[in-house]
Amino acid sequence: SRPPCADLRKQARQLENELDLKLVSFSKLCTSYSSTRDGRRDRYSSDTTPLLNGSSQDRMFETMAVEIEQLLGKLTGINDKMAEYTNSAGVPSLNAALMHTLQRHRDILQDYTHEFHKTKANFLAIRERENLLGSVRKDIESYKSGSGVNNRRTELFLKEHEHLRNSDRLIEETISIAMATKENMTSQRGMLKSIQSKMNTLANRFPAVNSLIQRINLRKRRDSLILGGIIGICTILLLLYAFH
């Protein structure tokens, strides 16, 4: 009888081949979906026909996505069973070969899963964009088909809204200028206070300096008088001694 691992590898290869075909068809479907939407956008550039109408492509996408997810789930289960068998294998060389095979199947599963999620995300992004564009075109068409009074009223509302936005912007600019002016005046007031404090300090110190200079001058005069008196006395004494 065939070993259990051989049967598991066979099932894994079958699922991988089936997944490969499904993913190719899935990718072609998404590419066709994008091309169809681009063609409709060019054809109906007059904004009179919606881009999306619940087409069969959307239903086919949902069906294929479910089928691929089921196949990925089955392949994941097969890989888990192979991992359990590999861990329970007794022969070291056989175990190493099984581990290599299991790793290869895991890499394939990871690549298929990544490709599926990437293709699905691109499809959903295109569909969301088209739904948004269809909604915008619907709003524009509704606006164009409205009465002249409603259009005029809408234009007035839009102009009033723009005036309000401009007024808000001017108010914000005025507030910014006022805040900057306030900060500048506060800084200048601080500088003036510092200068005034230094001037007061110097003014308070000048009288003391003048008084000190005056005292020094008086002491110099006194010393000069004393020195002159001593010189005069010495001169008189020398003359008396000379004529004695």
Per-residue pLDDT tens digits for 213-244: 778 888 888 888 888 888 888 888 888 877 76
Residue 137 has pLDDT above 70, yes or no: no
Residue 2 has pLDDT above 60, yes or no: no
The least confident of 42-46, 107-111, 158-162 is 42-46
Residue 47 has pLDDT above 60, yes or no: no
At 43 the pLDDT is 46
| Per-residue pLDDT band at 39 (split at 50, 70, 90) | low
| Per-residue pLDDT band at 165 (split at 50, 70, 90) | confident
Which one-letter DSSP state was computed for residue 42?
H
Q: In the predicted model, what is the mean pLDDT of residues 38-53?
A: 46
* Helix-helix angle 92-144:4-43, to 10 degrees: 20
Quick one: tokens of 190?
A: 């601080």
At 219 the pLDDT is 86
Q: Where are the domains of the chain?
A: 1-36+51-143
At 198 the pLDDT is 72
Q: Where are the beta strands (DSSP E) in the chain?
A: none
Per-residue pLDDT tens digits for 178-215: 777 777 777 777 777 777 677 667 656 666 666 777 78
At 183 the pLDDT is 78
* CA–CA distance, 135 with 143 (Å, rounded to integer): 12
Residue 135 has pLDDT above 60, yes or no: yes
Matching CATH number, 1-36+51-143, of 1.10.1220, 3.40.50, 2.40.10, 1.20.58: 1.20.58
Per-residue pLDDT tens digits for 70-88: 999 999 999 998 888 777 7
* CA–CA distance, 239 with 67 (Å, rounded to integer): 144
